[in-house]
A and B are shown apart, each in its own frame.
Chain A
Amino acid sequence: NAGVTQTPKFQVLKTGQSMTLQCAQDMNHEYMSWYRQDPGMGLRLIHYSVGAGITDQGEVPNGYNVSRSTTEDFPLRLLSAAPSQTSVYFCASSYSGLAGAVYEQYFGPGTRLTVT
């Protein structure tokens, strides 16, 4: 298994540009999520999905859109990039079961985004 893959690894955008960060997993996980990590800080949840066709907002959703048309893919779209969105973005996935079940989350290697 390739696990969780993210593309691109690095990206530089100008303010106002849009782009899509790609995330894919080959483990048949129902749950997928996007985090951002700013320097010296922990990860903050942007959006998440508990299955194809179902998405919800996390802690910091503004300026980002997601959709989940397949189990494998969960792209993150930046609508109009701003310097405040300069960060490292991580995608994660896990099984999603009944309440009370515990599954570990698998994280991708990250995309380092700079907005000038």
Chain B
Amino acid sequence: DAKTTQPNSMESNEEEPVHLPCNHSTISGTDYIHWYRQLPSQGPEYVIHGLTSNVNNRMASLAIAEDRKSSTLILHRATLRDAAVYYCILRDLNFGNEKLTFGTGTRLTIIP
């Protein structure tokens, strides 16, 4: 399975944008890029996913590099509730299965 690399931790001020990077240099053409986050003492929750084009939803934006070897999750205006561990995950959909392989993620701290 292709692997992802994320910084262990990041800090950001409240109400400012946050850019969470993810490197995936061995990504294959059929890998989707998924982001999940895990709030303290909760199960992970889906944030966003994409294949080649940038994606926006109500929670965040996903910017994907043209060569797809990296991506950035963008929280446009961080709140204290966004403090969580963010996981960048690649999933190959050629096999029609839904297995997710979690790394250790990036722990995001929001400073009031």
Contact = CB atoms under 8 A, between A and B. Distances in A.
Answer whether A and B are interacting partners: yes
Interface stretch (B10-18, B19-27, B37-45, B67-75): B37-45
Interface residues of B, number: 24
B104 to A, nearest CB: 5
Contacts of A108: 43
Contacts of A35: 102
A43 B37 CA distance: 12
B62 to A, nearest CB: 13
A29 B91 CA distance: 19
B99 A45 contact: yes
Contact of A90 (B44, B95, B98): B44
SS class of chain B's interface: helix, strand, loop or mixed?
loop
Interface residues of A, number: 32
Interface string B69-100: 00000000000000000010001011111111
10 contacts: A4-B43, A33-B98, A43-B102, A45-B100, A50-B97, A59-B101, A90-B44, A94-B98, A105-B44, A105-B100
Interface of B: 32, 36, 41-46, 49, 87, 91, 93-105
